[in-house]
Amino acid sequence: MESTPAATSGPIVCRVTPWYFRRMGMMTAMLIAMGLYFLYDGKYGYPETNKIADQKDWFEQTLLKGYDEAKAANRLEEWVKETEAKGLPAGKNGEPPRWVSYAAERGWPEKPHRYTEREITAQFWWGGATILVGLGVGVAMLLNRTKVLRAEADHLITPEGVSIPFAQVFKVDTRKWDNKGLAYLWHRSDSSVSPQKAVIDDLKYDGAVRILERLMVHFKGELIEKQPEIEDDTAKKNPSDD
């Protein structure tokens, strides 16, 4: 990674990017919306579906049973008149009433699923948990409003306030830099101290690439870079050359 003269002197202050706030805001809204949908299903959606399932049971166990009994007793015509007078389906041309038609007229599913009390209760748990996660994401977004990633001439300061002298950085991993804007660095004050890990996030902190450039000017340790893909000459060989 090449450095520029401006990258080696003067303070660098990288604030949180608008992209980060948009992404976190969308995640917050999505999670809360999902949670509300779970709650809606638990309060209204699932119970309404169960009511339709009850109607299907009544249709099959009561209405169709009445049709069969009337037909067996040779009083089908009378049963049809009585049923139609009640505003209920009585079938046509001597055929039994059909649930498919009855449900379609009301916009109901042909095979309504019956939800158990456990499934209904689970919707409230899922809804509450999802909303809490969404609120947590929203709080994290707000807490990041004032965070900055800084660098001075010989050290950087993480958003958490940790000061890392460039001379203490002994390993840098930039394999995710091109795709995700992430660089990882390991540092320690002396060999007797356990290594600590820090992140330079160019997607979250605007202009963080300048801090990475400044670090690399002073860096003399192990650099882990993404290796370029090596093309297979054998695969590219023209079969006609054989």
Rounded distance between C-alpha atoms, residue 43 and residue 13, angstroms:
49
What tokens appear for 224 in the block?
């882990």
Residues 6+ apart with CB under 8 A from 177: 183, 202, 212, 226
Ranges under pLDDT 70 in the chain? 1-9, 191-192, 229-242
Residue 6 confidence (pLDDT):
46
What does the pLDDT look like over 75-133, one tens digit per residue? Answer: 888 888 888 888 888 888 778 889 998 999 899 999 999 999 999 999 999 999 999 99
Residue 233 confidence (pLDDT):
57
pTM (2 d.p.): 0.72
Rounded distance between C-alpha atoms, residue 162 and residue 19, angstroms:
24
Rounded distance between C-alpha atoms, residue 151 and residue 208, angstroms:
9
**Torsion angle, alpha carbons of 68, 71, 73, 78, to 10:** 110
What tokens appear for 60 in the block?
């099959």
What tokens appear for 32 in the block?
């809360």
With tokens 């330079």, the residue in question is 200
* CA distances (Å), origin 209, targets 52, 183, 197: 60, 9, 18
CATH of 5-16+147-224, one of 3.10.450, 2.30.29, 2.60.40, 3.30.43: 2.30.29
What kind and span of H or E run contains 222? strand 222-224
Residue 8 confidence (pLDDT):
56
Domain ranges of the chain: 5-16+147-224, 20-143
